[in-house]
């Protein structure tokens, strides 16, 4: 019983992280049909920032990592994606692959191939006793962090004019522009929010691992993309739900698969994904929409 | 060199639109002045929607389009709206997952005078009382006619001088069509210019101060309201 609850809490936390990562991808996709694989390198940049500046205190290090993530995200849009507005989702995805590999090499050049380490928020690595059940402090923190971010995002999207503009653009970019919503404004906003979410993901992952290397963000991004696609990447809530599901399933498999099979947990998740795509492809396909880009 | 263009309203000169080299609009010219309702009719594929989208800067074009004498060539749609032009797109395209009120709020993003937002909203809600009743409902839950009212209301929230509508009667019940055109009459009488694209010829000709017939990307006729009863002219309008 105790073990079940522990694994459930861990799985919810893993789902929360992956949900945030998938949301980072889904927010941008909704507006410009870009499934940004290089979101992983935004996460990596935020992780390097945390690890390299942790000495200065968390209250400096965390803001730095958020700022770095937002700037890199906006820079990607300005330097690369804004020049590719007339291309379809497939081309944009491939371009983001290229950008991802390029940035990994850049990180390697700057920081070397070896991992950099720092004990990020080591206090969270302990477990706590809640009503007689021992749970990871980090899992609880992750769940709270994700909940706070999601509530804040939801309030932003529904209660502010800028948030409504983003929501409208994500639903129907062409009409949003005809109504007078500036394309540059909502695109920039989606990349900035994506950066903030990536920084949150980086925080949780660096607390877990205490280390960062050039390809730090790749695995979670693959899983997040998969999650976003099964959930329905063209809807913000779809990405979030799909990401959560994949994270939750991966974590549960890690807890309950026999020892000798845990290395294959990702493989099991992908089998699950293939099954979902086979049996319910209709609700999961991306609706192709013409997007006016000038 | 050139003297300042002091004309009011919308002026379209030699507008051309092509998709991958295939012409859809072949050099049409017309004007819409304040307080006028102008019809643009023609069969499916004649180039009506292309004309409106090209004016809005939403599809590439050549030719000159001026609003109150200012050339709006090269402006993105969101900039064009800020010159005083608004389009109610074909198929309405309200934001279905947002509330009626939020749809109207978004329409006001492009207002040039934000201080009059409240009175503009009241004006729209008086014009379409149903939107007041269903203010908090998701737009996707409205009927087709109600969505059309919302789409027009949303466009009016940007406070346009020229309102363009792409087939506003499409898929609506006769009573819903009446509601829409009664509202358009109010808009026209308030001194705004209205450009209505329609397939329903007779109705549009009777309503509009002037109606152009578009065939294969070319304006072939210009009709007066009286022509609505003239069978010969109508046949000509339909079949070229
Ligand atoms: N986005 C597009 N790409 C390619 N061809 C188009 C596009 N939009 C319209 N067309 C073509 O241009 C012509 C005019 O279309 P349209 O302006 O939609 O006519 P209407 O609104 O009068 O029915 C048609 O032949 C149509 O097939
Ligand atoms: Mg049309």
The model's confidence at residue A233, banded by pLDDT at 50, 70 and 90, is confident
Q: What is the pLDDT of residue A286?
A: 44
Return the pLDDT at A267: 84
Q: Residue ranges of the alpha helices (H) in B85-197?
A: 100-107, 117-127, 129-133, 144-156, 174-189
Identify the bridge partners of residue B67 per DSSP, sorted by sequence position.
Answer: B10, B70
Does the beta carbon of B204 sit less than 6 angstroms from any atom of ligand 1?
A: no
Domain-located, residue A45:
yes
> What pLDDT is stored for residue A289 in this prediction?
38
Residue A287 has pLDDT above 80, yes or no: no
Domain ranges of chain B: 10-233
Q: Which residues contact B19 (CB under 8 A, 6 or more apart)?
A: none
Q: What is the pLDDT of residue A157?
A: 95
- The answer to whether the Cβ–Cβ distance between B102 and A164 falls below 8 Å is yes
**Which numeric CATH code is attached to B10-233?**
3.40.50.300
Report how far residue B218's alpha carbon sits from residue B239's, in angstroms, rounded to the nearest whole number. Answer: 13
Q: Ligand 2 centroid vs B49 CA: distance in angstroms? A: 4
Q: Tell me the backbone φ, ψ of residue B128, rounded to 5 degrees.
A: -125, 80
pLDDT tens digits along A143-157: 999 999 999 999 999
DSSP B20-46: TTEEEEEEEEEEE-TT-EEEEE--TTS
A178/B82 Cβ within 8 A = no
Q: Which of B50, B91, B198, B212 to mutate to test the pocket of ligand 1 (most atoms within 8 A of CB)?
A: B50
pTM: 0.90
Determine the pLDDT at residue A81.
96
Distance of alpha carbon A246 from alpha carbon B82, whole angstroms: 44
**Is residue A274, in this structure, part of any structural domain at all?**
no
pLDDT value for A293: 32
Contact check, Cβ <8 Å, B59/A180: no
3-class SS at B85?
strand
Residue A66: domain span: 16-221
B163: which strand partners? B86, B194
Q: What is the pLDDT of residues B115-134, one digit of tens each?
A: 999 999 999 999 999 999 99
Quote the pLDDT of residue A273.
77
Overall number of domains in chain A = 1
DSSP-assigned states of every residue in chain A: -HHHHHHHHHHHHHHHHHHHHHHHHHHHHHHH----TTHHHHHHHHHHHHHHHGGG-HHHHHHHHHHHHHHHHHHHHHHTGGGGTTS-HHHHHHHHHHHHHHHHHHHHHHH-SSPEE--TTGGGGSEEEETTEEEEHHHHHHHHHHHHHHHHHHHHHHHSHHHHHHHHHHH-HHHHHHHT--HHHHHHHHHHHHHHHHHHHHHHHHHHHSEE-TTTTHHHHHHHHHHHHHH-TTSHHHHHHHHHHHHHHHHHHHHHS-GGGGGGHHHHHHHHHHHHHHH--GGGSPPP------
Is the CB of B50 within 6 Å of ligand 1?
yes
Q: Is the pLDDT of residue A22 over 90?
A: yes
pLDDT at A251 over 70: yes
> pLDDT digits over B81-117, tens only?
999 999 999 999 999 999 999 999 999 999 999 999 9
CB A240 within 8 A of CB A23: yes
Q: How far is the centre of ligand 1, averaged over its atoms, from the C-alpha of B211 (Å)?
A: 21
Residues of chain B with pLDDT under 70: 1-4, 237-240
Note the pLDDT of residue A156: 96
pLDDT in tens, A153-189: 999 999 999 999 999 999 999 999 999 999 999 999 9
Q: Which residues are paired to A176 by β-bridges?
A: none
Q: Give me the pLDDT at residue A290, please.
A: 33
Judge whether residue A234 has pLDDT over 80. Answer: no
The reported pLDDT for the residue numbered A65 is: 98
Instruction: Determine the residue among A180, A181, A183, A232 to mutate to test chain B binding: the one whose Cβ has the most chain B Cβ atoms within 10 Å.
Output: A180
- Which pLDDT tens digit goes with each residue over A33-84? 999 999 999 999 999 999 999 999 999 999 999 999 999 999 999 999 999 9
More confidently predicted of A268 and B119:
B119
Domain-located, residue A56 = yes
Report if residue A90 sits inside a domain.
yes
* Pairwise CB contact (< 8 Å): B154 & A168: no
């Amino acid at each position: 019983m105790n073990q079940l609850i522990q694994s459930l809490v861990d799985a919810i936390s893993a789902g929360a992280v992956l949900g945030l990562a998938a949301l980072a991808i889904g927010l941008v996709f909704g507006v410009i049909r870009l499934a940004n694989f290089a979101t992983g390198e935004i996460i990596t940049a935020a992780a390097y920032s945390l690890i390299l500046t942790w000495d200065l205190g968390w209250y400096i290090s965390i803001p730095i990592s958020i700022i770095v993530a937002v700037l890199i995200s906006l820079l990607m849009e300005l330097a690369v994606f804004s020049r590719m507005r007339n291309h379809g989702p497939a081309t944009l995805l491939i371009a983001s692959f290229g950008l991802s590999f390029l940035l990994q090499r850049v990180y390697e050049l700057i920081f070397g191939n070896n991992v950099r380490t720092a004990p990020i928020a080591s206090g969270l690595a302990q477990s706590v006793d809640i009503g007689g059940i021992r749970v990871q402090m980090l899992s609880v923190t992750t769940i709270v962090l994700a909940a706070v971010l999601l509530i804040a995002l939801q309030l932003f999207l529904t209660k502010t004019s800028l948030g409504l503009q983003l929501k409208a653009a994500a639903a129907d970019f062409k009409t949003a522009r005809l109504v007078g919503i500036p394309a540059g404004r909502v695109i920039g906003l989606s990349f900035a929010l994506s950066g903030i979410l990536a920084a949150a993901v980086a925080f949780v992952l660096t607390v877990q691992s205490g280390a960062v290397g050039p390809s730090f963000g790749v695995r979670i991004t693959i899983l997040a993309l998969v999650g976003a696609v099964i959930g329905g990447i063209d809807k913000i809530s779809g990405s979030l739900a799909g990401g959560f599901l994949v994270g939750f399933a991966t974590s549960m498999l890690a807890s309950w698969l026999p020892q000798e099979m845990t290395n294959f947990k990702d493989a099991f998740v992908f089998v699950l994904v293939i099954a979902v795509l086979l049996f319910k492809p209709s609700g999961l396909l991306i609706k192709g929409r013409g997007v006016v880009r000038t | 060199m050139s003297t300042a263009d002091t004309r009011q309203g919308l002026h379209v000169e030699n507008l051309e639109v092509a998709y991958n080299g295939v012409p859809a609009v072949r050099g049409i010219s017309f004007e819409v002045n304040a307080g006028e309702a102008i019809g643009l009719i023609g069969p499916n594929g004649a180039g009506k929607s292309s004309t409106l989208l090209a004016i809005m800067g939403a599809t590439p074009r050549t030719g000159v389009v001026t609003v109150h004498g200012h050339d709006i060539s090269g402006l993105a749609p969101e900039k064009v709206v800020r010159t005083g032009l608004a389009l109610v797109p074909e198929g309405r395209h309200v934001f279905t997952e947002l509330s009626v009120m939020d749809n109207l709020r978004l329409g006001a993003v492009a207002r040039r005078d934000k201080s009059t937002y409240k009175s503009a909203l009241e004006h729209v809600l008086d014009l379409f009382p149903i939107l007041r009743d269903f203010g908090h409902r998701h737009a996707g839950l409205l009927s087709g006619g109600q969505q059309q009212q919302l789409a027009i209301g949303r466009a009016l929230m940007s406070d346009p001088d020229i309102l363009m509508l792409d087939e506003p009667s499409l898929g609506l019940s006769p009573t819903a069509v009446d509601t829409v055109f009664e509202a358009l009459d109010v808009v026209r009488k308030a001194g705004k210019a209205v450009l209505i694209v329609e397939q329903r010829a007779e109705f549009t000709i009777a309503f509009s101060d002037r109606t152009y017939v578009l065939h294969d990307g070319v304006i072939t006729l210009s009709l007066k309201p009286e022509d609505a009863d003239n069978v010969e002219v109508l046949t000509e309008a339909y079949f070229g």
